[in-house]
Amino acid sequence: MKTCGRTTRRGGNARSQRGFSIIEVLVAGVILTIGLVGVLSLFSLAMANAQTSQQDMIAKQLANAAMESIFTARDTAQLQWDQIQNTGAGTTPDGIFAVGPQQILLTNTTTCAAAGTCGILGTAQTGGAQTLVTPGPDGILGTADDVTVSLANYRRTIAIAPFPPTDPNATVRQITITVTYTAAQLRGQPRSYVMTGFISQFR
């Protein structure tokens, strides 16, 4: 009885010490490789998003500035209601906002003064590409290490439509501002920021 018990224990130890087969090692290696590739791709995507956070902030500011300029022009009576439309609206006076993506340009004060559109973004502008000054490594704006960012790769689209769309005489219009840009970190893939708002004829 005792001898049989010892033999059983030796047999159990032999089974417990048996190693992995080649197939098991290969399957484990493949699963580990797939997992590591997934983690690395996620890490690289997170790094690209972190590096484009400044461009995202600039796109948001450009959309905000355009929206505010439209509301300010309405509130100060700089524009008539029929002018708060895209060009070619068929009204008198016609809409003044350019159709399609527009480069972010400096305002030509002579041109906009003649057209009465100074300070209203998204209208006819003939200056050079705008630049934006951002704080440098010290995080303080106005010091020697400030960084000047060109806005040449940004495009802004302002689309204005009646709301509801079936009523051309609606006293409310929907404004959709889309700012598109490309970033080297995204391998030239375009990225967009979209802002939507509603404007009423009545101040």
Collapsing DSSP states into helix, strand and coil, what is residue 190?
strand
Per-residue pLDDT of the chain (203 residues; tens, 9 = 90+): 455 555 445 555 555 556 678 888 888 888 999 988 888 877 777 766 666 777 888 899 999 999 999 999 999 988 899 999 999 888 888 888 989 999 888 766 666 666 667 778 777 666 677 888 878 888 888 888 888 888 888 999 999 999 988 887 889 999 999 999 987 766 677 889 999 999 999 88
The backbone torsions φ and ψ at residue 193, rounded to the nearest 5 degrees and listed phi first, read -125, 130
189-198 per-residue burial string, b: 16 or more CB within 10 A, e: under 16: eebebebeee
DSSP percent split of the chain into helix, strand, coil, nearest 5:
40, 20, 40
Contact 93, 115 (CB under 8 A): no
Contact 86, 97 (CB under 8 A): yes
Residue type, 56: D
126-153 per-residue burial string, b: 16 or more CB within 10 A, e: under 16: eeeebeeeeeeeeeeeeeeeeeeeebeb
Domain ranges of the chain: 52-200
CA atoms within 13 A on the CB side of 121: 26
| Residue whose entry in the numeric block shows the structure tokens 């033999």 | 7
Residue 172's DSSP bridge partners are 200
Q: Single out the residue of 110, 45, 109, 112 nearest to residue 78, CA to CA.
A: 112
Strands 102-103 and 131-134 come out as unpaired
Sign of CA dihedral 19, 21, 24, 27: positive
Residue-level pLDDT at 203: 80
Q: How far apart are CA 183 and CA 188, in angstroms?
A: 6
